[in-house]
């Protein structure tokens, strides 16, 4: 493919959030009843936390949101202008403007809500490990009407690969369904992420409806185990779970499903066509770790950057590990000007 034919090849839809990231301590986590390594939606009790984080000397504001991170990393890895596009909802405010600046290169087409502020995600870092608490606000206002507008549906038509993190299941399952059915009908590649234990537990019905369409399913070991537990699979073995996920029913027979599960510093598990392969990750000395925020998203972004070029799964995983390794050495989902991947 010439670079022209990559135009809009990859489309993402999700919750655009501005990360409010700061280093905190165990007492802070205990105060707001949050666990390291977890990702949850904000409740009433969490709301004062955003101001407390914002008042910390080391606070940083970084464009975030799981799918948006993955799309931005894929665009960065590809270095082909206009290869990606992204849809989600922001507010008409300072944070929204900030987001537009940051996500311009990734081809963001935002729906702007008049009443709700731009969504934020509290990123609480303890010992390099992140805990996420998302206050969706405007991100929660995305509606399939926006998707159906001709200029937006054109992005769906143009794309060949579509990626949506599981977090979007809490916002607009009907948008996911529209895009998933389009992908199945046109033999495009549709991909999802398990995203968080709470999605697997509390949004199981919406997840069950979307997953038959997924040609690729990404997740980490904690999410995979929760997914298995909810279904009574009686196993904690990541390889077995990946295999079982890959063999769940599929809406369209055009592509077989491939499941990709990350396990932190342990090997990546890939289940494909009834077989499991593992791939070691690039190990990083502890002192080089800044934070794990965005690592899983960057992994997916790196993977997608090669997949859209029709590279082998081995190459996709190699790029995924490279991208994740870059991101964990920086604050949030940020990267140098150009990748050093070959």
User: What distance in Å separates the CA atoms of residue 323 and residue 301, rounded to the nearest whole number?
Assistant: 7
CB 332 within 8 A of CB 123: yes
The one-character DSSP state at 243 is H
User: What distance in Å separates the CA atoms of residue 209 and residue 50, rounded to the nearest whole number?
Assistant: 34
CB 197 within 8 A of CB 207: no
Helix, strand, coil abundance in the chain, percent, nearest 5: 45, 25, 30
Catalytic residue among 19, 113, 215, 297: 297
Closest CA to 19 of 110, 167, 129, 118: 118
User: What distance in Å separates the CA atoms of residue 328 and residue 222, rounded to the nearest whole number?
Assistant: 19
Q: b/e per residue, 282-309, with b = 16+ CB within 10 A?
A: eeeeeeeebbbbbbbbbbbbbbbbbbbb
Residue 297 is among the residues annotated as catalytic for this protein? yes
Give the CA angle between residues 67, 68, 71 to the nearest 5°: 85
Residues marked active site are found at: 297
């Amino acid at each position: 493919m010439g670079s022209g034919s990559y135009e809009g090849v990859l489309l993402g839809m999700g919750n655009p959030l501005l990360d409010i990231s700061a280093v905190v301590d165990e007492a802070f986590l205990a105060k707001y009843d949050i666990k390291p390594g977890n990702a949850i939606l904000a409740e009433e009790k969490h709301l004062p936390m955003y101001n407390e984080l914002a008042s910390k000397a080391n606070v940083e504001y970084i464009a975030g949101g799981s799918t948006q991170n993955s799309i931005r990393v894929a665009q960065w890895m590809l270095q082909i202008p206009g290869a990606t596009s992204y849809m989600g909802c922001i507010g008409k405010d300072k944070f929204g403007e900030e987001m537009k600046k940051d996500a311009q290169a990734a081809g963001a087409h935002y729906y702007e809500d008049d009443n709700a502020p731009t969504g934020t995600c509290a990123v609480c870092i303890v010992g390099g490990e992140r805990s996420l608490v998302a206050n969706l606000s405007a991100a929660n206002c995305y509606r399939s009407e926006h998707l159906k507008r001709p200029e937006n549906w054109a992005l769906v038509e143009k794309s060949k690969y579509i990626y949506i993190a599981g977090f979007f299941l809490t916002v607009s399952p009907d948008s996911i369904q529209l895009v998933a059915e389009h992908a199945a009908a046109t033999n495009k590649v549709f991909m999802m992420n398990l995203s968080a234990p709470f999605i697997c537990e509390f949004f199981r019905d919406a997840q069950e409806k979307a997953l038959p369409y997924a040609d690729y399913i990404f997740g980490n070991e904690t999410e995979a185990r929760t997914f298995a537990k909810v279904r009574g699979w009686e196993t904690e073995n990541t390889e077995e779970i990946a295999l079982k996920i890959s063999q769940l029913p599929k809406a369209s027979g055009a592509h077989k499903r491939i499941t990709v599960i990350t396990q932190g510093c342990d090997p990546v598990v890939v289940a494909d066509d009834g077989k499991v392969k593992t791939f070691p990750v690039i190990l990083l000395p502890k002192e080089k770790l800044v934070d794990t925020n965005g690592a899983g998203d960057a992994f997916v972004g790196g993977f997608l950057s090669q997949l859209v070029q029709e590279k082998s799964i081995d190459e996709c995983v190699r790029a995924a590990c490279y991208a994740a390794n870059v991101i964990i050495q920086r604050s949030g989902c940020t990267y140098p000007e150009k990748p050093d991947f070959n």
